[in-house]
Amino acid sequence: MTFLRSKVVLALAVIPALLLATAADAHKLRAKGVKVAVAESTLSVTPSRDWNRLSARIGKNTESWTLDGGQLNDVTFYGGIAPGNPLVKERSKKKEPLPKFTGTTLLVEVPELLETTYRAYRQIGAFAVNSTEPVKFLGQDGVRFTYTYTDGDELTRKGEARAVIIKGNLYMITFDAPRLHYFDRTISDFHALVDTASFG
Amino acid sequence: MKRYGAAIVSAWAATMAIPAAAQIAPLPPPYVGAYQPQGVDEIGIWREDDEAERKLAASTLVIQDEKLTFYVRRVLCDTVGTDRCKSVRIYILREPTFNATMVANGTMRVYSGLLLRLRNEAELGAILGHEFGHYEQRHSVNDFKARRAATDILMWGALLASMAPSYDVRRSYGNLELSIYGGFFRYNRDQEREADLLGIGYLNKSALRPHAASDVWRNVMGEIEASARVKGLKKPNFNAIAFTASHPPEAERAAMMAALADPAGRSREDGADRYREAMAAWLPIFLEDQVKLNDFGASEYLIQSLAESGWTATLWFARGELYRLRGHPRDLVNAAEFYQSAVQLDPALANAHRGLGLSLLKTARPSEGQASLRKYLELKPEASDAGMIRLMLPKEGAPN
């Protein structure tokens, strides 16, 4: 009997521990008005509405947020990609290498870097950069660009991004959503979010 | 002893070498006209294909270029004959992989990556003829039936094995599994050989050069090897290209294709000029799709093989982009040189001036780089990145 009880107690003790362990990995609420650091970096934002942080990370120094699900609207923060590294984690370093951000990459080439990363990672052929223009981002001279691509699910998505190179590292925030309905519906939420981005 | 060994080798070669055993591919059987599906399996497969085709027709990935589709259709008709090709609908998809497929109801999908890799009408005819061979022999319904039979046997086998769970029974179930899957894959490869035989049969009968079929395979193997070499892989992965994954080993295939081709057809034309002309408008786009896939070895091999018939501004530009995007310091020096060759051949190629300008800026030649970027803006004032490029130029009158 005592044996049994001790087992029960042990089980009761283990359950919350398991819950805690999963909670740390789960999607998380990013509440309105609370300033948070993103992508394990000095980059931080203050959301103007509630967002969800997704638990899955597509690479080192990245973090993804969404409103309705990653396929429908996806904000990805790239918090300081160092020279020599790809934007997202490579499936196989040797067999399927991705393009790297290098010490000589210019701001005007950042849209190409995102384009080639998307094309190589998703093996797609339909990707177009629609506009590239200078913008102040994180208090520095940065680049703002828009793009359109059709993914393997044959859904055409639109995207917008802002990027800046600070002390040789790349900081970028991207927004991707299906051209149909979702992009236009949530682009203003993205603008509100990205406008609050600050560095340091 | 040595002589004995040589005798064994030659006997082995005689049994292995398909050329000795096989004659040239026979002419295709007479065409029986439009076919309608029969039996519940086939009717079901056609219905699924019809549904898939409805979706495909509305897909944004389909290249809506009437001229290009018409050209590919004409090459198919030249290869298999006008009566046969009436039953086919061709869709060209913008996808940078080497592949083409044909399904039971007559939908043919041709990928842009295939069109980029071929160099003449005879090669295109060889691939389209092979796919048409699958269709004419109704391989998809037979394949479905074979797969169902194989999995049925395995299911029953697994059920019976679980009722008598001793080690021996499980081991013989494992053997059964191996032999059934082995048989099934062999069946798949035999279908491929049958389609090859028919494909070359069509070419032998047509006015195109049937030997092009083996050229396609030699080129594909060369590209895969080049890709592996640059990545530092020990073994090239021939399954990386969708079209070759389920197909007989490449080297065997190239040899067999050469043997099946009618020697009398060697002097026939292959339509390289017509092919180049038909692809001219799309070549820069297909090349860009390939270069931006970040497969340096394969892209370099492709550009070099396209350049065998002469370097053009388009090819130099693509090579410049390939090197600049990889972006090692040594690549940037090469890239600048390639862009320079492009603008020498076509001074109005705005994007080559952009690439040249950026490469020069990054190799510490700013004043020449800025001159090229100015030229780019002059040629393309409405460029999507004009604002960014303008920022990189010194203000008028200000010192550099």
**Closest residue on chain B to A127 (Cα):** B289
pLDDT value, residue B17: 44
Are B289 and B353 in the same domain?
yes
List the beta strands (DSSP E) in A10-138.
Answer: 28-30, 36-37, 43-45, 51-53, 62-66, 74-81, 85-86, 100-101, 127-137
Give a yes or no: residue A21 inside a domain: no
Cα separation of A38 and B352, whole Å?
Answer: 39
Residue B158 lies in a domain: yes
Most A-contacting residue of B63, B294, B392 (CB-CB within 10 A), to test interface: B294
Mean of pLDDT over chain A: 87
Across the interface, do B231 and A95 touch by the CB < 8 Å criterion?
yes
Alpha-carbon span A3 to A26, nearest angstrom: 34
Chain A touched by B117 (CB under 8 Å): no
Q: Which B-chain residues 301-360 have CB contacts (< 8 A) with chain A?
A: 325-327, 329, 332, 358
Query: Among A18-22, A140-144, A183-187, B296-300, which is the least confidently predicted range?
Result: A18-22
Share in percent of chain A as helix, strand, coil (round to 5): 25, 40, 35
Query: Do B206 and B98 reside in the same domain of the chain?
Result: yes
Look at residue A114 and tell me if it is in a domain.
yes
- Percent of residues, chain B, with pLDDT higher than 70: 90
Is A108 within 8 Å of B392 when comparing Cβ atoms?
yes
- Whole-model pTM: value is 0.83
The verdict on a CB contact (< 8 Å) between A127 and B292 is yes
Q: How far is CA B127 from CA A100, B120, B238, B328, in A?
A: 36, 11, 17, 38
Confidence at residue B240, expressed as pLDDT on a 0 to 100 scale: 58
Rg over alpha carbons for chain A, rounded to the nearest Å, is 20
Contact B294 A156 (CB under 8 A): no
Residue B25 CB-density burial (10 A; 0-12 exposed, 13-18 middle, 19+ buried): buried
Structurally, chain B folds into a number of domains equal to 2
Calpha distance B71→B74 (Å, rounded): 5
Instruction: Tell me the shortest Cα–Cα distance from A174 to chain B, in angstroms.
Output: 18
**CA dist., res. A112 & res. A128, Å (int):** 10
Query: Which of B267, B300, B335 is the endpoint of a domain?
Result: B267
CB pairs under 8 A between A and B: 84
- Per-residue pLDDT tens over the stretch B83-102: 888 889 999 999 998 889 99
**B107 token code pair:** 């939908």
- Say what the pLDDT of residue B284 is: 96
- Whole-number Å distance between alpha carbons of A134 and B216: 46
Q: Which residues in A lie closer than 8 A to residue B295 (C-beta atoms)?
A: 120
Domain with residue A189: its CATH number is 3.40.1000.10
A7 within domain boundaries: no
Q: Give the gap in angstroms from C-alpha A169 to the nearest C-alpha of chain B.
A: 16
Q: What's the token pair of residue B56?
A: 């495909």
Q: How far apart are CA A123 and CA A131, in angstroms?
A: 23
Task: Give the mean model confidence (pLDDT) for residues A76-85.
Answer: 94
Pair of tokens at residue B4: 């004995």
pLDDT band at A25 (very low <50, low <70, confident <90, very high): low
* Token pair of B217 as six digits: 């395979």
- B60 vs A112: CB contact, 8 Å cut-off? no
- Residue-wise pLDDT tens digits, B259-292: 888 888 888 888 999 999 999 999 999 999 999 9
| Cβ neighbours of A119 in B, within 8 Å | 289, 292-294
Residue A23 within any structural domain of the chain: no
Tens of pLDDT, residue by residue over A103-159, are: 999 999 999 999 999 999 988 888 999 999 999 999 999 999 999 999 888 899 999
Alpha-carbon distance values, A168 to A77, B179, B264, B337 (Å): 17, 58, 64, 27
Question: How many Å lie between the alpha carbon of A13 and the closest alpha carbon of chain B?
Answer: 39
User: B363 and B238 share a domain?
Assistant: no
Of residues A112, A126, A127, nearest to B325 (C-beta): A112
Given B235, B267, B299, the domain boundary residue is B267
Mean pLDDT of B33-46: 85
In chain B, the residue whose alpha carbon lies closest to the alpha carbon of A144 is B388
Q: What CATH number has the domain bearing residue B320?
A: 1.25.40.10
Same domain, B110 and B239: yes
Instruction: Kindly identify which residue of chain B lies nearest to residue A108, measuring between CA atoms.
Output: B388
Question: Most A CBs within 10 Å: which of B384, B389, B390, B391, as the mutation test of the A interface?
Answer: B384
Question: Minimal CA–CA distance to B243: which of B228, B233, B235, B253?
Answer: B253
Residue B74 lies inside a defined structural domain of this protein = yes
Sign of CA dihedral B278, B284, B287, B292: negative
Burial of B383 (0-12, 13-18, 19+ CB in 10 A): middle
Asked whether residue B217 is domain-assigned, the answer is yes
Q: Is B382 at the interface with chain A, CB within 8 A?
A: no
pLDDT value at position B3? 45
A72 close to A178: Cβ distance less than 8 angstroms: yes
For residues B320 and B228, membership in a common domain is answered with no
Number of structural domains found in chain A: 1
> Residue B61: which of B18, B32, B16, B95 has the closest Cα?
B95
Q: How far is A17 from chain B (nearest CA, A)?
A: 39
User: E strand or H helix at B385, and its extent?
Assistant: none
Query: Does some domain include residue B162?
Result: yes
pLDDT score for B243: 55
Same-domain pairing of B349 and B212: no
Look at B60 and A126 and tell me if their CB atoms are within 8 Å. yes
What angle, rounded to 10 degrees, do the helices at B167-205 and B139-163 form? 170
Instruction: Return the pLDDT at B8.
Output: 42
Say if B198 falls within a structural domain: yes
Tell me the mean pLDDT in the region B181-202.
81
Mean pLDDT for all residues in chain B? 85
Share of chain A above pLDDT 90, in %: 71
Say which DSSP state A42 is in: S
Is residue B288 within 8 angstroms of chain A, CB to CB? Answer: no
Taking the CA of residue B214 and the nearest CA in chain A, the distance in Å comes to: 27
pLDDT tier for residue B165 given thresholds of 50, 70 and 90: low
| Residue B354 forms part of a structural domain | yes
Shared domain check, B49 and B97: yes
Tell whether B303 and B228 lie within a shared domain.
no
CB-CB under 8 Å, A102 with B327: yes
Q: How far apart are CA B151 and CA B325, in angstroms?
A: 47
B99 touches chain A (CB under 8 A): no
Assess whether B126 and B237 both reside in one domain: yes
Q: In the structure, how many helices (H) and strands (E) does chain A have?
A: 3, 13
Nearest to B233 among A94, A98, A111 (CB): A94
Specify the pLDDT at position B363: 93
**What one-letter code names the amino acid at A50?**
D
B102-129 pLDDT tens trace: 998 999 999 999 999 999 999 999 999 9
Per-residue model confidence (pLDDT) at position B258: 86
Alpha-carbon distances, residue B196 vs A105, B28, B119, B140, B371 (angstroms):
47, 12, 19, 16, 55
Query: In terms of pLDDT, which residue wins out, B34 or A150?
Result: A150
Range of the domain at B295: 281-391
Of A100, A123, A143, the CB nearest to B388: A143
Closest CA to A49 of A73, A17, A25: A73
Residue in B294, B326, B385 closest to A132 by CB:
B385
pLDDT confidence of residue B191? 83
Mutate to test the interface with A, among B235, B286, B292, B373 (most CBs of A within 10 A): B292
Task: Give contacts of B 178-237 with A, CB under 8 A.
Answer: 231-233, 237
Whether residue B96 lies within 8 A of chain A, CB to CB, comes out as yes
In the predicted structure, residue B168 carries a pLDDT above the cut 90:
no
| Phi, then psi, of B282 in degrees rounded to 5 | -95, -20
B237, B384, B387 ranked by CB distance to A130: nearest: B384
User: Distance (Å) from the C-alpha of residue B155 to the closest C-alpha of chain A?
Assistant: 33
Q: How far is B60 from chain A (nearest CA, A)?
A: 7
Q: Is the pLDDT of residue B132 over 60?
A: yes
pLDDT recorded at residue B255: 83
| In-domain check, residue B3 | no
Per-residue confidence (pLDDT) for residue B234, from 0 to 100:
77
B234 and B158 both lie in a single domain: yes
CB contact (8 A) between residue A115 and residue B292: yes
- Tell me which residue range forms the domain holding A50: 29-199
C-alpha separations of B278 from B117, B120, B274, B303 in Å: 14, 10, 6, 18
Least confident of A163-172, B20-29, B73-82: B20-29
CB–CB contact A119 B289 (8 Å): yes
pLDDT tens digits for B324-375? Answer: 999 999 999 999 999 999 999 999 999 999 999 999 999 999 999 999 999 9
Sheet harboring A36-37: ordered strands across? A36-37, A43-45, A198-199
Please say which residue of B267, B299, B331 terminates a domain: B267
pLDDT at B4 over 70: no
